[in-house]
Amino acid sequence: MAIWLPRLAVDRWRQVEGCRRGEGTDTAPTALISETAHGQMIEAVNDAGLAMGARPGMTVADARTLYPWLRVTPSDPAGDRAFLERLAVWAQRWGPQAALDAPDGLLIDVSAVAHLFGGEAALLADVEARFAAREVTARAAIAPTAGAAWALGHHGPGGAILAPGEDIEARLAQLPVAALRLDPDVQLVLRRLGLKRLSDLTGINREALKRRFRNRSPQANPLLRLDQLLGRVSEPLLPVVVVAPALVQRRLLEPIRHRELLDQVVTDLAADMAHELERRGEGARRLELGLWRVDDDVAIRSLELAAATREPAHIARLFAAKLDDVDAGFGIELVRMRATWAEPLAIVQADLDGKAEEPGTTLATCIDRLTVRLGAAAVRRPVPYASHIPERAQRWQAPLAPEPASQEELAFHFRPLKLLEKPEKIAVLYASPDGYPRQFRWRGGLHEVVRVEGPERIAPEWWREKGNTRLRDYYRIEDTTGRRYWIYRAGLANDGRGGAPDWFLQGLCG
């Protein structure tokens, strides 16, 4: 949701004067002015002044010539900004995150919020009623993207709602290009090109526009702004209130130089951190331990946890494994623990069925301990990946991360139990170059092929690989001792991509 406060300066001036709209001081035509290089300029005018004919952007001298009884007051941009910030915090009543849209707007994330107010229309009505009660002129609009909401708020009909299913492009086609939040000089360029409406921009070839507007900053690039408006690229909101991470620290009277004392301090900190996290109803996923030394040196140790936790003993134990190489120097005087990433973790009742008393650790604890000692790259889970090439069809990810959505594996073809890290070259005897292998030598051993099935031909993925990559013919073979292997021939005899094809052993079957 975007809220535009078009008369912000005047509304605030009226509040400072302590009068209602059209009463007291507001009855006299008044202009808020600022000093510029071209003399005093009018920034904003109240209703009486507007009715008389004064407009923002006139110089005071011009206005005075026409309307000698115009009153002027200096404007206060800093005060306006502070007022806008207060409004942004107040506007969080409508959504969890509110961001400033300087100088005179607010952006509020209202995803999945509207039902609390009885629908989006009711939400907008509430916004209007609340701003009217504060005597602040406001225009609000709701749209799936911040850019679209801004465009509707500034240039669309009042109280516009763009439902998620609607076509943003069609709905906003008739808005002027100013709705793209562009710098004035870029707007001027667009006007000179004859591009006045959004439909003009979308109607012409994108490549042509790309050549003219190469600027990377969104304010100067109408294409980027258009993408933000249509939701093709993301546009982060900088929230007005940032949630501070949980932080506990111990200042030490006497700098510590010994490991046992440090372990004790870390244990205490872990207990403090557990209290702090419990108060917030959170569990830590990433923790950072900072050790400030007397001689102004800092050692930072960070820890990532497989699942949100606030178990002090577990945290202390994991950090203890990371403190072995800390050089205490002349002593450590300040130890601080910070939860840089926390996830909600409800307070649960102690287990009544005695599962907690069962010996053994939970999976998350086990993985944390393994990760701390062996590194995150050593503890992983295989997940499928969309590729024909066998070694590419499997990727590795963190063990407790959700599995990516994928097509169920097709059971048409045989796959081996294990793949060698790298296919190993074998010397093969065959009856004909494109026929079955008869005998091969691998790791110094001679294997006589008794049974064979194949080939399963796997073509190179031309969209990933170079043009001269050779195809692979996979054979599943069994030798005289019963060992089963998965071997392939890279290429064909006369495919024009190199000499005689090589053979490789890639997989071990059960």
Radius of gyration of the chain, Cα coordinates, nearest whole angstrom:
34
Residue 345 CB, shortest distance to other proteins, in Å, is: 18
C-beta of 113 vs 366, nearer to other proteins = 366
- Regarding 441 and contact with other proteins (CB under 8 A), the answer is no
Q: Of 270, 283, 324, 275, nearest to 301 (Cα)?
A: 324
Residue 264 CB, shortest distance to other proteins, in Å, is: 25
Token pair listed for 468 = 């001269």
Residue 412 CB, shortest distance to other proteins, in Å, is: 11
Angle at 376 between CA 372 and CA 378, to 5 degrees: 100
Residue 327 CB, shortest distance to other proteins, in Å, is: 24
Angle at 388 between CA 382 and CA 394, to 5 degrees: 5
* Burial state string for 309-323 with b = 16 or more CB within 10 A and e = fewer than 16: bbbbebbbbbbbeeb
Between CA 398 and CA 382 the distance in angstroms is: 9
- The 30-36 sheet, strands edge to edge: 39-45, 30-36, 71-74
- Regarding 397 and contact with other proteins (CB under 8 A), the answer is no
Between CA 333 and CA 100 the distance in angstroms is: 40
Residue 496 CB, shortest distance to other proteins, in Å, is: 31
C-beta of 275 vs 484, nearer to other proteins = 484
Q: Among 50-58, 126-134, 157-165, 443-451, which window interacts with other proteins (CB under 8 A)?
A: 443-451
470 to 509: interface string for other proteins, x by CB under 8 A: ------xxx--xxxx----------------------xxx
**236: preceding bond cis by omega (within 30 degrees):** no
Between CA 409 and CA 182 the distance in angstroms is: 48
For tokens 């993408």, name the residue: 227
Residue 324 CB, shortest distance to other proteins, in Å, is: 15
C-beta of 241 vs 401, nearer to other proteins = 401
Residue 276 CB, shortest distance to other proteins, in Å, is: 28
For other proteins, the binding residues in 453-472 under the rule CB under 8 A are 453
**399: preceding bond cis by omega (within 30 degrees):** no
Token pair listed for 203 = 């109607």
Angle at 207 between CA 206 and CA 213, to 5 degrees: 85
Residue 273 CB, shortest distance to other proteins, in Å, is: 23
Residue 359 CB, shortest distance to other proteins, in Å, is: 6
- Coil vs helix vs strand at 118: coil
Q: Which helix (H) or strand (E) holds 458?
A: strand 445-458
Residue 464 CB, shortest distance to other proteins, in Å, is: 19
Instruction: Please give the C-alpha separations between residue 206 and each of 38, 45, 190, 210, 469, in angstroms, as whole numbers.
Output: 40, 41, 14, 6, 35
Between CA 336 and CA 266 the distance in angstroms is: 9
C-beta of 245 vs 416, nearer to other proteins = 416
- Coil vs helix vs strand at 54: coil
C-beta of 280 vs 380, nearer to other proteins = 380
C-beta of 288 vs 478, nearer to other proteins = 478
DSSP state of 145: S
> Which amino acid appears at position 387 of this protein?
S
119, 203, 445, 498: residue in contact with other proteins (rule CB under 8 A)? 445
C-beta of 234 vs 481, nearer to other proteins = 481
- Regarding 409 and contact with other proteins (CB under 8 A), the answer is yes
C-beta of 412 vs 462, nearer to other proteins = 412
C-beta of 336 vs 369, nearer to other proteins = 369
442, 488, 503, 504: residue in contact with other proteins (rule CB under 8 A)? 442
- Regarding 451 and contact with other proteins (CB under 8 A), the answer is yes
344 to 383: interface string for other proteins, x by CB under 8 A: --------------xxxxxx-xxx-xx--xx--xxxxxxx
- Regarding 125 and contact with other proteins (CB under 8 A), the answer is no
394, 439, 468, 494: residue in contact with other proteins (rule CB under 8 A)? 394
Token pair listed for 385 = 């990946």
Total residues binding other proteins (CB under 8 A): 54
Residue 389 CB, shortest distance to other proteins, in Å, is: 12
Strands 418-430 and 437-442 come out as antiparallel
Q: Are 199 and 172 in contact (CB under 8 A)?
A: no
Between CA 322 and CA 199 the distance in angstroms is: 59
Residue 341 CB, shortest distance to other proteins, in Å, is: 22
Residues interacting with other proteins, by CB under 8 A?
358-363, 365-367, 369-370, 373-374, 377-384, 390, 393-394, 396, 399, 403, 409, 414-421, 442-443, 445, 450-453, 476-478, 481-484, 507-510
